[in-house]
């Protein structure tokens, strides 16, 4: 009788929580701007699968945001931690997960650097062009 009661309690406890895969390793979750890079952006990916044990009642109420100091300055090395995924679940502490660069982004060539510098100077001193 005690063993059955203990088994029911443990079973109930396990049903109250579920493991949720929030992000998979190597799958892009966002992009970050790259300043003076050969590419304008770089994909942001988790280095490993992100799994959370969450109460079953709130598993569909998870929210997340990506935070980074940007734009990133080229060169960017593949696999380097450049951002953070912050996962919010009601009534639980936030979970912070590092995000890494999906690819190497080299420094822009001469022409792109000159064009970018000219655009920055134009915007800073003469104002943004009308849209």
Is the Cβ–Cβ distance between 58 and 82 less than 8 Å? no
pLDDT computed for residue 90 by the predictor: 86
Is the Cβ–Cβ distance between 83 and 30 less than 8 Å? yes
Provide CB contacts within 8 A for 27, sequence distance 6+. Answer: 45, 46
pLDDT computed for residue 28 by the predictor: 97
Mean pLDDT of 70-91: 94
3-class SS of residue 67: strand
**pLDDT of 14 strictly over 80:** no
pLDDT computed for residue 131 by the predictor: 43
With bands split at pLDDT 50, 70 and 90, how would you rate the model's confidence at 130? Answer: low
Mean pLDDT of 74-96: 94
pTM for this predicted structure: 0.76
pLDDT computed for residue 57 by the predictor: 76
**pLDDT of 80 strictly over 50:** yes
Mean pLDDT estimate for the chain: 89
Mean pLDDT of 13-28: 87
Return the CATH fold of 15-125: Peptidoglycan synthesis regulatory factor (PBP3), Domain 2 (2.60.410)
pLDDT computed for residue 124 by the predictor: 83
**pLDDT of 92 strictly over 50:** yes
Q: Which residue has the tokens 């396990």?
A: 14
Q: Where are the domains of the chain?
A: 15-125
Going by their DSSP bridges, the two strands 30-35 and 72-73 should be labelled as parallel
């Amino acid at each position: 009788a005690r063993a059955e009661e203990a088994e029911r309690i443990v079973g109930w406890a396990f049903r109250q929580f579920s493991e949720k895969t929030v992000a998979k390793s190597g799958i892009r979750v966002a992009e970050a701007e790259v300043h003076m890079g050969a590419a304008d952006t770089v994909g942001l990916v988790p280095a490993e699968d992100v799994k959370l044990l969450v109460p079953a009642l709130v598993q569909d109420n998870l929210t997340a945001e990506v935070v980074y100091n940007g734009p990133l300055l080229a060169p960017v090395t593949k696999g380097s931690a450049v951002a953070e995924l912050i996962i919010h679940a009601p009534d639980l502490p936030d979970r912070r997960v590092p995000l890494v660069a999906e690819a190497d982004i080299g420094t822009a060539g001469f022409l792109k650097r000159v064009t970018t510098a000219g655009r920055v100077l134009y915007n800073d001193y003469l104002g943004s062009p009308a849209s």
